[in-house]
Amino acid sequence: MKMYMKNVSRNKNCFRCILISVIFVFSHAHASSYPDFTKIVEDNMPAVVIVNATRSYNASSNQFQNTPGMPEEFNDLFKKFFDERQNAPKRDQPSSGSGFILSSDGYIMTNHHVVNGSDNISILTNDQVTYEAELIGSDKRSDLALLKIEARNLPVVKIASMDKVKLGEWVLAIGSPFGFNQTVTAGIVSGKQRKLAGDNYVPYIQTDVAINPGNSGGPLFNLSGEVIGVNAQIYSRTGGFMGVSFAIPSDTVNDVYYQLKTKGKVSRGWLGVYIQEIDNKLAKSFGMKKPKGALVSKIIPNSPAEKSKLQQGDVILEFNGKEIKKSTDLPLLVGQAKVGKSFKVKIIRNKMIMNVPIILEELPTEDKIASIETKKIIADSISGISVKNLTPSEKNTFQVRSGVIVTNIDESINNNYDLKQGDIITKINNNVIKSADDFKKILNNVKNNTYANLLVYRQSTPIFIALKISK
């Protein structure tokens, strides 16, 4: 019995040893699967800086207005008080972000929103030296700004090509969130070519790297220690980091850096069109097998598009040999293209593929061509639609040459129409509608159970609607 107990005890001890060994090996293997960022941080930390900016403002900007019913002498008294407040000394509102050194002679990149509207900008380097900075140029559309300090032999970062960036690869950010200087966070690349609301010219990198206020303008590194992006935005419902952050890609950084350094501003190509996304039903109406491309809903007067043979209702499939998978691809490609050069635009028109040459011009200062992401508008049949001819005054009011106005939609027949009473229909399948007779005639020539595309003006905004024809 004693011998048996000894064997049991011996076996238990052996089992424990084996288990501990397995756990140790597993833990070691698991730990070794994570990259070592220390070398990247040691090599690049000296080139990351803190950007401090100040904006001056009046202590009071309120304008006093007379209060109805108050005696005039009291109004005069309060007016004098507020006028004195208006003349109060200006105060400085500080803000800070991050940046990184691009050249040994002191060129520094940061975000536009970090320094926008600033009266004074200073740079604090990693060795705790403060420099006054000059704003060389700032580009709101890319949210990038270029600064210059008077210094020599500064440490610099290396910029990588976006061709190297892979989904799932490790990346790390260096910055100063909430004023905590030289903070390092890491994560992976979650997505590429992200389009954010209001940003037509930046194909953002999405990561899960922890980014917070103060990180803006700081670099995003790959495992080779090269900058692949500039940390710019987070997606948050709370104001704090929620696992989704966005960086401006290195290719955009290089382009903006060169242009701001050489001419103090950024020039972008301009086509001069309003575009909308194509869904399945619109694709069918244009004779396409699947949705792709950018649908031209409007051509801006005196624009490069108007000067070319591009037409309203064209579907742009390629620009300069590059495929347009989504409508949001077009502004990016056009914006990056060289101004004054002729480019080939591949389109679908009347279910035929053709090429249209177009010479790009520079995008105006005011963003007149922000792409319209039109709500998908689909109707299921044409039953119950009543239209009438436009009067000369209505043509003038709605700024259309021809068309018919929708006067009634019988909801008892079909209540799923997204056509609205008052919509103006100007084209059906690229055929101009001059009268109610044209409207009926053209629709009668459309095959049953197929989709027709209608060009509709709603509140002076042109949109395309895919309409299923049921006879």
**C-alpha to C-alpha distance for 36 and 49, rounded to whole angstroms:** 23
Report residue 419 CA to chain centroid gap: 30
- Cβ 404 vs Cβ 391: under 8 Å: no
- Cα of first residue to Cα of last residue in the chain, in angstroms, is 95
Cβ-Cβ contacts under 8 Å for 401 (sequence gap 6 or more): 395, 426
Smallest CA-to-CA distance from 78 within 66, 60, 61, 62 is with 66
Indicate the pairing of strand 183-194 with strand 170-175.
antiparallel
Cβ-Cβ contacts under 8 Å for 407 (sequence gap 6 or more): 386, 387, 388, 421
Amino acid letter, 366? E
Report residue 42 CA to chain centroid gap: 33
The question of whether 216 is a catalytic residue gets the answer yes
Out of 142, 176, 216, 297, pick the active-site residue.
216
Tokens of 382: 């044409």
The Cα angle at residue 305 between residues 435 and 362, in degrees rounded to 5: 145
Out of 95, 98, 113, 208, pick the active-site residue.
113
The four Cα atoms 173, 174, 180, 181 give a dihedral, to 10 degrees, of 180
Out of 98, 122, 138, 143, pick the active-site residue.
143
Tokens of 157: 């970062």
DSSP 48-117: EEEEEEEEEEES--PPP-PPTTS-HHHHHHHHHHHHHHHTSPEEEEEEEEEEEE-STT-EEEE-HHHHTT
Q: For residue 178, is it left (φ>0), alpha (ψ between -120 and 50) or beta?
A: left
DSSP 391-439: PHHHHHHHT-SS-EEEEEE-TTT-S-----TT-EEEEETTEE--SHHHH
Place of tokens 């792709």: 292
The question of whether 143 is a catalytic residue gets the answer yes
Cβ-Cβ contacts under 8 Å for 63 (sequence gap 6 or more): 82
**C-alpha to C-alpha distance for 335 and 342, rounded to whole angstroms:** 14
Catalytic residues: 113, 143, 216
